[in-house]
Structure 1
Amino acid sequence: MDFHPQPKPGTASPWAFPAPERGKLPNGLTVLRCHRPGQQVVAVEVSLAAPLEAEPQGLDGVATIMARAFSEGTDKLSAEDFTAELERCGATLDAHADHPGVRLSLEVPASRLTRALGLLADALRAPAFPEGEVERLVRNRLDEIPHELANPARRAAMALSAELFPADSRMSRPRQGTQETVERIDAAAVRAFYEAHVRPATATAVVVGDFTGVDLDHALAETLGAWSGTAAEPRPVPPITADDTGRVVIVDRPGAVQTQLLLGRIGADRHDRVWPAQVLGTYCLGGTLTSRLDRVLREEKGYTYGVRAFGQVLRSGPPSPAGPGEGAAMLAISGSVDTASTGPALKDLWQVLHTLAAEGLTESERDVAVQNLVGVAPLKYETAAAVAGTLADQVEQHLPDDYQAWLYERLAETGTVEATAAVVNAFPADRLVTVLVGDAAQIEEPVKALGIGEVTVIPS
C-alpha cells in the first residue's frame, strides 16, 4: 500500500511583536498606529486617564457607569440611533473601567473605519448621559451585584482585596462599586466625573489593522481630532500598600459542597526586571494542565479540576527620574476543591511550594514553559484586537512601545535558576493571604490544624 508522503515542517519565519508608530494630534491626543496587512477588521482602543482612585468618595462605580453610558447617545444621536449607526458600520463598541482608567474598544471593517471613528469621537466629545439611560444602567448594575456575591470566585476576589489593602484604599473595594455606592450615582455624577477626567490631552488611541486604501491621517483628523478639551496636570499616583502577613479568611457558605481557594499577595509589576522570570516561574507552578499544582492536586490526588497560579498587574504609575513609578501586581493561586478535601488540598499545596523552594524547577519544566509562552505568540497576536489590547495595556502601565518584544526576548533567555528564584520569591509559603469560600463548620478546624496562619470566619 502506498501512502501519501508525510508533510514536512517548513522553516519557521522570524516573528516579533509589531512595533507601533507613535504620534500626536493637534488636540493633544496621543495616537499609536500599527499597520497589519490582511487584518481587514480594524481594532481601536482608547485609554482615558480616569482611574478608579479618582472616583469621588462614596461614588465607587461611577467610572463603570460612565464607561457603559458612552454608547447611550450623543449630542447628535439618541441611544437607539447611535446603536443603529454602529450596526450599519458592522462595528462593535465596548467600554470598561479598571484601576488604571477607562478603556473603550472599537472593532470595525476597514472599509467603514472613518464612519465608526466618527461615532467613537462623538461618544467621547459629547456624550448625552441621558437621565433615563443612566438610571437604567444603575439598575442593571444593582441587579448584577447579588449575582457576583453569589459567585464563589468573585466573592473570594472581593474578600482578598478587602483583606490585603487598607480600608481607605480604592483597591480594597469592588471595582464596579457596591450596592450602597452605586445607588447614589445619577446622571449629574456621571457628567461631573466625565468633565473632570475625560479630555484628549490625557488620552491615547491605539489603531491596528490593514490601512491599505485608508487615509488614516485624514480619518483621525476629521473624527478624534475634532474632540477638544483643556489640558490637565498629571494626577498624583498614591503608593500601593498591602499587608500580606500569612493568614486565612473563611467566607462562610453553610452547606457548600465545594470550597473556592484564593491565595494571594502583592508583588513586582512589569517595571521590575524580575517580571520575565516571574512570569516563567509562575507558569511552571500553575500556568497550565501540566504545571506542578495541577500535577499534584488534580492528577495525583484528584482534589480539583484545576488550580492556576497567575500574576495580574493592578496599576503602574508613570516612571520618575528616581526609577519606575508606584505599581504592583496581584500574585495569586486560584481553584476549587470538594469540601471534604479542603484541608488535605491546602496541605499538599503548601507542600508543593516548600518542595519548589527546596529543589527548584527542572530544565524540562522551564523548556516547556518557554515553548508555550514564546512559541504561541504569533498565534496569540493574529488578530488586530489582540495587538491593540496589548499596546493599550502598555500605555496604561507606562511601558515603552517595544516592551512586549523585549519581554519575549527575555523569556527565551531566562534560565531555570532565575525562574526558580523569581517564583519562590513571588509565592513565599509564609506570606500568602488565603481566602476560602465554603462551609466554615466543615473546613475551619482542618484548616486551623495546618498552622498556616490565624483563621477568621466572616459571613457570606
Structure 2
Amino acid sequence: MDRRSALLAGLLSTIALLPWPVNAAAKVQAPPVERRVLENGLVLIVVPRPGLPLVKAIALVGAGSLVEDSGQAGIAALTARLLLRGTASRSGEQMSQAIEAVGGSLEAEAERDAAAVTLSVLTKDLRLGLTLLADSLQSPTFPEAELERERRNLLASLAQRVEEPGFQAQDLFVATLYGPAHPYGRPVVGTEAELRQLRREDIIGFHRQQYGPNRTILVLAGDISLATAEPIVQEIFGNWVPVIGPPWHSPSVSVMSRGEVRTLDRKLAQTSVILGQRGIARNDPDYYAVTVLNALLGGSGLTSRLSLNLREARGLVYSASSSLAAGRLAGPFQVSLQTKNESAGEAVREVVQEIRRLRTDPVPEDELRRVKNFLTGNLPLQLDTTGKLASFLARAEYYGLGLDLATRYPGLIAVVTPEDILRVAQRLLDPQFLVIAVVGDVAAGRLTLP
C-alpha cells in the first residue's frame, strides 16, 4: 500500500469512529443538507461534514432488478458490474489504476430497486473521482471479455446459493410469495437460465433505457460544500442526456387465497425456516407502525418476543428474527429461524402463536416503550459514518421520504400506539395466509400448516 492509500485508509478508520450528534434518544440533530436539480434532471444533494479531508459519494440510479424485462433476470446486476470494466475513454484497468493512484475507491452494484455506484476520495481529488464516476455511468462499453468474466462470477454466486440452506429457504420463500417471474420473487443476481442467455446487445439496450440523469440521485457527503460541488458536478454531468425509456408498469402478483408450505428435503444437521407474508412499500403510511411491530416480534435482537420465547424460554432455535424489506413495492415481512430438525414444527407453531397474540392482545406500555427506545437509539448507529449518511439520504430521496427524515424519525416512532400495532398486525399477519419455506430434514421436523 502506497503512502496516499495508507493515509486514506487511516482517514476512513477514523471517520467510522466519529459520533453522530444525538440528544438523548429522542432527537437526532442531522447536519445541513442542500439539494439542487440540474437542467437534465439529475438530483444533487450535498451534506457538508467538515473535518477530515474526505468525500463519500453515491449515485443511485433507478436501474435495479425491479425494472428488468421478462426473460432478462440478472441483467441489472450484470450491467452494474460492468460499469467499471471499461468506458469510452478508459479501460477497466485504467479506471482501477486512476482511482487507486489517489487512494480512493469506486464500486458498483445492483440492488432490488436501484443500482448504486459509490465513490470515496480525498477532497482534493474529488474532480477526478467524479469524472471516473460519470464516465462509468454515461459511457460504459461493456467489453465482451469482461461480460463473460462477470457472467461467470454471477453464475458462481448462484451456485453458492444452492449450497447454502439459508439462501435456499429465502429463494423458495420469495418465489412462492411473489412467483418466480416477479422481480421480488428471485435473487437480484438473476437465474442461471436467463443469465446464460443475456448478450452484450441486451446490456447496451438496458443501459440506454435505464441509465440517465433524470433517473439519478447523486449525494456528496464530507468535506465539501454546495458552492464548491455544484459547478464541478454541472461541468462533469451537465451534458448527460436524459433517457426516455418505456413506461414502467408495476409487476402484478396474484392474490393468495390460502397459506402454503414449501419444503426442500436435505439431510442436514439443522433446518432453515422462513415464513411470512407480503408486507408494505417504503412509502406506505403504516411503515413506522410496522417497523415497531417488526421490532416487537423479532427485529430487536435477543429481547424480541421470538428470541425470548423460542430461544431463551424453550430452546427450540439457534436463532429467531423477523424483518421487513419495504421497497418501491410491498416487500416481504418475514420470520427467519435456524433450528434443530426435530424442533422445526414446534418452532413454527410458536411463531404462529406469537403472531396471533400480536393480532389480539394490546402491547403493554412498558414493552412498547422499550422497543421504541431500541429503534430511536439504533438510528445514530445507522448514520455514524459519512458513507452511511450518504446512502441514507440517497434512499430517502429515492423513496420520496424527505431529506429531514433522520430528524423526524424519532417522532414518527414515538406516536405509534398499541392500537396501531393491533391494526397493522391484523392487516399484514394472518396465520391462514402464511407462506412457509423449509430446507432441512422435513420428516424429522413434523411440519404442518398452522
TM-score (ref. length: structure 1) = 0.86
Q: How much does 1:296 deviate?
A: 0.7
Instruction: Give yes or no for contact 1:39–1:210 (8 Å, CA) kept in 2.
Output: yes
Q: Does 1:386 align with 2:399?
A: no
Instruction: Give yes or no for contact 2:49–2:221 (8 Å, CA) kept in 1.
Output: yes
Corresponding residue for residue 367 of structure 1: 369
More displaced 10-residue stretch of structure 1: 51-60 or 102-111: 51-60
Query: Residues of 2 paired with 1:39 and 1:380: CA distance?
Result: 20
Corresponding residue for residue 265 of structure 2: 252
Of the candidates 341, 344, 369, which is equivalent to residue 342 of structure 1?
344
SS at match of 1:328: coil
Of the candidates 329, 346, 355, which is equivalent to residue 331 of structure 2?
329
Q: How much does 1:240 deviate?
A: 4.5
Change beyond 3 A, Cα 1:379–1:221 = same
SS at match of 2:50: coil
SS at match of 1:147: helix
In the alignment, structure 1 segments of 5+ residues that lack a partner are: 1-9, 317-326, 453-460
Q: How much does 1:260 deviate?
A: 0.5
Query: Residues of 2 paired with 1:422 and 1:117: CA distance?
Result: 44
Query: Residues of 2 paired with 1:238 and 1:353: CA distance?
Result: 30
User: Quick one: percent identity of the two aligned structures?
Assistant: 27
Query: Residues of 1 paired with 2:281 and 2:80: CA distance?
Result: 26
Corresponding residue for residue 99 of structure 2: 86
Query: Residues of 1 paired with 2:84 and 2:411: CA distance?
Result: 40
Of the candidates 408, 415, 423, which is equivalent to residue 413 of structure 1?
415
Corresponding residue for residue 323 of structure 1: none
Change beyond 3 A, Cα 1:422–1:18 = farther
Q: Does 1:113 align with 2:118?
A: no
* 1:286 partner amino acid: G
In the alignment, structure 2 segments of 5+ residues that lack a partner are: 1-21
Q: How much does 1:370 deviate?
A: 1.3
SS at match of 2:274: strand
Q: How much does 1:42 deviate?
A: 2.0
Of the candidates 412, 430, 433, which is equivalent to residue 432 of structure 2?
430
Instruction: Give yes or no for contact 1:61–1:182 (8 Å, CA) kept in 2.
Output: yes
Instruction: Give yes or no for contact 1:45–1:388 (8 Å, CA) kept in 2.
Output: yes
Query: Residues of 2 paired with 1:250 and 1:163: CA distance?
Result: 11
Query: Residues of 2 paired with 1:291 and 1:39: CA distance?
Result: 38
Q: How much does 1:185 deviate?
A: 2.1
Q: How much does 1:44 deviate?
A: 1.3
Q: How much does 1:213 deviate?
A: 11
Of the candidates 289, 293, 298, which is equivalent to residue 286 of structure 1?
298
Query: Residues of 2 paired with 1:170 and 1:162: CA distance?
Result: 10
Instruction: Give yes or no for contact 1:202–1:232 (8 Å, CA) kept in 2.
Output: no
* 2:211 partner amino acid: V
Q: Does 1:41 align with 2:41?
A: no
SS at match of 1:269: coil
Q: Does 1:261 align with 2:273?
A: yes
Query: Residues of 2 paired with 1:92 and 1:242: CA distance?
Result: 43
Change beyond 3 A, Cα 1:168–1:305 = closer
Change beyond 3 A, Cα 1:231–1:349 = closer
Corresponding residue for residue 147 of structure 1: 160
Q: How much does 1:85 deviate?
A: 1.0
Q: Does 1:447 align with 2:431?
A: no
Query: Residues of 1 paired with 2:86 and 2:427: CA distance?
Result: 49
Q: How much does 1:216 deviate?
A: 1.1
Query: Residues of 1 paired with 2:109 and 2:35: CA distance?
Result: 24
Corresponding residue for residue 6 of structure 1: none
Query: Residues of 1 paired with 2:69 and 2:319: CA distance?
Result: 39
Instruction: Give yes or no for contact 2:61–2:115 (8 Å, CA) kept in 1.
Output: yes
* 1:447 partner amino acid: L
**Structure 1, residues 230-253: CA drift from partner, whole Å, max 9, x if none?**
442673332553544322111221
**Structure 1, residues 119-146: CA drift from partner, whole Å, max 9, x if none?**
1011112112111111110111111111
Instruction: Give yes or no for contact 1:47–1:104 (8 Å, CA) kept in 2.
Output: yes
Of the candidates 301, 304, 314, which is equivalent to residue 301 of structure 1?
314
SS at match of 1:306: strand
Of the candidates 156, 161, 165, which is equivalent to residue 169 of structure 2?
156
SS at match of 1:430: helix
For these two proteins, the number of residue pairs brought into alignment is 426
Query: Residues of 2 paired with 1:51 and 1:202: CA distance?
Result: 11
Corresponding residue for residue 207 of structure 1: 220
**Structure 1, residues 247-266: CA drift from partner, whole Å, max 9, x if none?**
2111221x111111101211
Alignment of 1:7-46 (within 5 A): 12=24, 15-18=28-31, 20-38=33-51, 40-46=53-59
Corresponding residue for residue 457 of structure 1: none
Q: Output the aligned Cα RMSD.
A: 2.4
Query: Residues of 1 paired with 2:214 and 2:360: CA distance?
Result: 51
Query: Residues of 1 paired with 2:84 and 2:164: CA distance?
Result: 28
Corresponding residue for residue 13 of structure 2: none
Change beyond 3 A, Cα 1:359–1:202 = closer
TM-score (ref. length: structure 2) = 0.88
Larger helix fraction of residues: 2
Query: Residues of 2 paired with 1:34 and 1:213: CA distance?
Result: 8
Query: Residues of 2 paired with 1:213 and 1:25: CA distance?
Result: 13
Instruction: Give yes or no for contact 1:201–1:230 (8 Å, CA) kept in 2.
Output: yes
Change beyond 3 A, Cα 1:165–1:394 = same
SS at match of 1:361: coil
Q: Does 1:274 align with 2:321?
A: no
**Structure 1, residues 301-348: CA drift from partner, whole Å, max 9, x if none?**
11223211111113x2xxxxxxxxxx3131111121010111121122
**Structure 1, residues 56-76: CA drift from partner, whole Å, max 9, x if none?**
432211111110111112222
Instruction: Give yes or no for contact 1:201–1:232 (8 Å, CA) kept in 2.
Output: no
Corresponding residue for residue 95 of structure 1: 108
Q: How much does 1:294 deviate?
A: 0.1
Query: Residues of 1 paired with 2:245 and 2:332: CA distance?
Result: 29
Q: How much does 1:39 deviate?
A: 5.5
Q: How much does 1:183 deviate?
A: 1.0
Query: Residues of 2 paired with 1:372 and 1:273: CA distance?
Result: 21
Q: How much does 1:23 deviate?
A: 0.9
Query: Residues of 2 paired with 1:397 and 1:212: CA distance?
Result: 24
Alignment of 1:157-236 (within 5 A): 157-211=170-224, 215-226=228-239, 228-232=240-244, 235-236=247-248
Query: Residues of 2 paired with 1:234 and 1:389: CA distance?
Result: 28
Change beyond 3 A, Cα 1:11–1:344 = closer
